[in-house]
């Protein structure tokens, strides 16, 4: 019996480490395509919104005419993984952002842009993933100009914390991370996103 063939997961390829996200998905035998224009959203199984510079990404989403189609597909149930700048774009409210910065309001989070500091304040730390087993090793989180969660709604499931603050969270089909899971060789965050996507789709 042959395994069920799934549509690809799209990876927003306007800025950031989108190729690294595609590599993590490839390690899980998950097909992916780069998303640069509205037509690339057709038939996707899910979408990854990578890190980068959130205000620039907001403008690129608008200039590429992708912002509204992505918003519509999220409203229709598209599963999304947003990392770093992707978290900012998916949040309900952004603090310390530009006045013209747009966000999708897809997850009930208030996040502070560069809440963990600027480039020189980048750091790594071990994170306990709540989706894992007690004997699993920690996940090495890479934080680069990372957003910090200031508030979250009752419907948000916290999947990992750093010093009591959520850094990996999920609400329905939207998963977000303050850190860059694509910058390690550990694909567990991507695997959990794909697993949850499959469970929701079954």
Tell how far CA 132 is from the center of its chain.
19
User: Helices in the chain by DSSP H: which ranges?
Assistant: 18-27, 54-63, 67-75, 85-90, 188-201
> Residue 120 to residues 5, 86, 143, 145: CA-CA distances in angstroms?
44, 21, 11, 8
Q: Is the dihedral of CA 182, 188, 194, 197 positive or negative?
A: negative
Among the listed residues 180, 190, 192, 196, the single catalytic one is 180
Does the active-site annotation cover 84?
yes
Does the active-site annotation cover 136?
no
Whose CA is closest to 149, among 97, 101, 103, 108? Answer: 108
> Residue 21 to residues 4, 34, 150: CA-CA distances in angstroms?
23, 10, 26
Three-state DSSP state, 193: helix
pLDDT given at position 2: 36
Structure tokens at 156: 């948000």
Q: How far apart are CA 87 and CA 114, in angstroms?
A: 12
pLDDT given at position 146: 94
Among the listed residues 21, 84, 162, 192, the single catalytic one is 84
- DSSP code string of 5-48: PPPPEEEE-SSSSHHHHHHHHHHTT--EEEE-SGGGGTT-SEEE
Among the listed residues 21, 182, 192, 196, the single catalytic one is 182
- Over its length of 202 residues, how does the chain's per-residue pLDDT go in tens digits? 334 468 899 999 999 889 999 999 999 999 999 999 999 999 999 999 998 888 888 899 999 999 999 999 999 999 999 999 999 999 999 998 777 788 999 999 999 998 988 777 789 999 999 976 778 899 999 999 999 999 999 999 999 999 999 999 999 999 999 999 999 999 999 999 999 888 776 6
Q: Where are the domains of the chain?
A: 9-201
CB contact set of 149 (below 8 Å; sequence gap of 6+) = 109, 110, 111, 115, 165, 166, 167, 169, 178
Does the active-site annotation cover 182?
yes
Note the CATH number of domain 9-201: 3.40.50.880
- Cβ count within 10 A of residue 187: 19
């Amino acid at each position: 019996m042959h395994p069920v063939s799934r549509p690809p997961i799209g990876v927003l390829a306007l800025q950031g480490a989108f190729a690294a996200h595609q590599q993590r998905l490839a390690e899980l035998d998950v097909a992916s395509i780069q998303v640069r224009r509205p037509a690339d959203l057709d038939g996707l199984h899910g979408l990854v919104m990578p890190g980068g510079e959130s205000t620039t990404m907001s403008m690129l989403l608008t200039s590429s005419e992708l912002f509204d189609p992505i918003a519509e597909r999220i409203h229709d149930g598209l599963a999304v993984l947003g990392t770093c700048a992707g978290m900012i774009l998916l949040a309900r409210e952004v603090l310390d952002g530009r006045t013209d910065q747009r966000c999708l309001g897809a997850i009930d989070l208030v996040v502070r842009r560069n809440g963990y500091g600027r480039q020189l304040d980048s750091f790594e730390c071990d994170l306990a993933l709540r989706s894992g087993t007690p004997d699993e090793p920690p996940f090495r989180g890479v934080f680069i100009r990372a957003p910090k969660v200031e508030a979250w709604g009752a419907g948000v499931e916290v999947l990992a914390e750093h010093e009591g603050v959520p850094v990996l969270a999920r609400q329905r089909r939207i998963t977000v991370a303050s850190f860059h899971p694509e910058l390690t060789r550990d694909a567990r965050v991507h695997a959990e996103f794909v697993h949850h996507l499959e469970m929701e789709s079954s």
